[in-house]
Amino acid sequence: MQKDYIERAVTTDGIHNPASRLWAEKWAQTTLPNPDSARTREEWRQLEKWLMTLKQPARVLDGGCGLGEWTVALHRQGFGVAAVDVAADLLARVEGEYHLGRFSCSDIRALCFRTATFDCYFSWGAFEHFEEGLGPCVSEARRVLRPGGLLLVSVPFQNWRHQIRSAFASTRASSGRDLVFYQWRLTPSELKRQLEIEGFRVMEIRTMAKEHGIHRILQGLLGQRLALWVPVKIVRRLLSFVVPGRLVAHMILAVAVREP
């Protein structure tokens, strides 16, 4: 597992986790997306496939829901879905738009639900943002899932680009900046081990967001402006078809079953 850091910011909004505060500030300036956009993502195909294996109606939890598009999309598909995030202002905005009554302000390490409430729990890019590790998030996921329930979780992938960068990066102490922890990046074996420790049986782990990972590489080589040129975007798309995900993917996604 590898740590990423960001520069410290003054906390004025009651959100003390740096990653949560960073995303809350970003979301405050972001237009709420069309919920149908969730159905265009790689994660949707995986989530939908596994949800179809559950006895219906299934209760589903969106842990770290952000802008709420996944929650709304699943609700429209007929699932009994609930969602949590720590950004109270954002949740009020989302609820004001959709009027679903399904959004709760809650820390994913201490969820506001009874034990064995859900048949499926998914969380995209949230478990990695706590410096004590993924353990408390995974343990709490196990608590709120019923025996045999599904956990789908994505985290940043410690791919070869990150491994090389980490090997040559300056140490935190010598950087000259006041940095705080932002997130963990994991290999598939590390994520598998984290889930197994907390009582899950891992069904599969796959790489995700390969094209985004290639974009990050090109951005580092060419700079942000050149990386957005149309010819570079075409190259990025072509590379995503031929370069193995284990080398460049931005995220990994695990599917696990809660053991009795």
Mean pLDDT of 158-178: 65
pTM to 2 decimals? 0.89
* Contact between residue 248 and residue 217 where contact means Cβ atoms under 8 Å apart: yes
Instruction: Provide the sign of the torsion angle of the four alpha carbons 45, 54, 102, 123, taken in this order.
Output: negative
Query: Over the stretch 187-239, which tens digit does the pLDDT of each residue have?
Result: 999 999 999 999 999 999 999 999 988 888 888 888 988 888 898 889 989 98
Please provide the average confidence, as pLDDT, over all residues in the chain.
89
**What pLDDT sits at residue 171?**
46
Q: What is the CA radius of gyration of the chain?
A: 19
**What pLDDT sits at residue 208?**
94
| Residue type (1 letter), 139 | S
Query: Over the stretch 87-114, which tens digit does the pLDDT of each residue have?
Result: 999 999 999 999 999 999 999 999 999 9
Query: Over the stretch 118-139, which tens digit does the pLDDT of each residue have?
Result: 999 999 999 999 999 999 999 9
CATH class of 2-209+250-258: alpha beta
Asked whether the predicted pLDDT for residue 172 surpasses 50, the reply is no
Contacts of 130 (CB under 8 A, 6+ apart): 17, 109, 136, 137
Question: Of 149, 94, 110, 98, nearest to 17 (Cα)?
Answer: 110
**What pLDDT sits at residue 15?**
63
Query: Over the stretch 2-39, which tens digit does the pLDDT of each residue have?
Result: 988 887 765 545 566 777 778 778 888 889 999 999 99
Contacts of 231 (CB under 8 A, 6+ apart): none
